[in-house]
Every structure is written in structure tokens, then in C-alpha cells.
Amino acid sequence: MADSKKKSKRESGEAASTGSKKKAQRSGSNVFAMFSQQQVQIFKEAFQMIDQDKDGFISKNDIRQTFDALGRLCTEEELNSMIAEAPGPINFTMFITIFGDRAQGTDDETVILNAFSQYDEGDGTCREDVLKHSVMTWGEKFTEAEWDTMTADAPMVKDKIDVKKWAKMITGSGDDDNK
């Protein structure tokens, strides 16, 4: 009987071990696994910038203040829409989950292309010097090093950035080849 108890414990231990391995595999598919450590760090910095009151959660007021600082006034409807994207309070994990969900096939590329549209020269490119001036002058100003990091792999056409290819690279929706 003692042998059967030992065997029973060992079998249940193996079963528990197998179960925990499955859990570990599932947790590997969590949102943090979708991004590199550098990307997670960038998300963390963005989260901290948006969390204006530094309470660890992004509220409608935090978003409003962030857009105000960038020189863009948002309507109440726009703010409510942004907040409604999250099924609960927006802490850092929820924040990165929203980006993870978007990276898996929602309209990120369109949103980015819309953001670049004011710089588009009409041929799907924008002048690097004009965009650089804008991101280093207005809103949360980029440093020279941040600009260099952001544009290090930007696809170029002479001295212009190919915004369509760059949007695909940023969102992960395109190949890294230079078609």
C-alpha cells in the first residue's frame, strides 16, 4: 500500500508537472512574448508619458492632457472611444495588450498612414528633414538619438521616407524585404 501511495504521488506530481508545462506554454503566448524587450521598454516609456497623473492607470483625463500637450484637442466622443477599446482599467498590461491586439491585424497601418498623410509628398513618401523637424519641435519632442533609433531602418527613396513601407514595418504587417 505504501508503494501505491508513492506511485500515486509520483503520478499526480507528473500530472501536475505536465499541467504546469501547459500553463507555461500558454503564458508564452501572452502579449509580452509578442514584442522584443526593446519594444516593451518603448511601450513602457509611452505609457509613463501618457499617465499624466502617475497613478499607474491611463484615464480619459490622462489621454486628454497628452493630446493637449501635442497640440490636438480631442472631442469627448473621441476620448470615450479610446477608453472603450479596453475592457477594463488601462494599466500597463492592458495598454500593451491593446497594442498586441492591434498588431494582430486591426487598423494600425491605416492609423499610421493617416498620421503620416500630412507629410506625404503625394507619392507615398515624406521628406525626412520635414518629419524630423516636426517630431523634434512639437509635442513630446524627440531627441536626436530617438530620431536616429526610430528611423534607422526606415525604407528610403533618395532622401525621402517611403511611408507605406515604413508603416508596414512599424506594424509588422509587411515583409522586411525591399520589394
pLDDT mean values, one per 10 residues, the chain (179 residues): 46 40 37 83 93 95 92 90 89 88 63 84 91 85 87 90 86 55
Chain Cα centroid distance, residue 113:
16
Cβ atoms of residues 109 and 96 within 8 Å: no
Cα gap 135→155, rounded to integer Å: 18
Secondary structure percentages of the chain, helix, strand, coil, to 5: 65, 5, 30
Domains of the chain: 31-105 (1.10.238.10), 107-179 (1.10.238.10)
Smallest CA-to-CA distance from 136 within 144, 126, 124, 125 is with 144
pTM: 0.45
What per-residue confidence (pLDDT) applies to 161?
A: 93
pLDDT of residue 152: 87
Residue 173: what pLDDT? Answer: 66
In this structure, what C-alpha cell is assigned to residue 29? Answer: 503566448
- Set of cell numbers at residue 142: 524627440
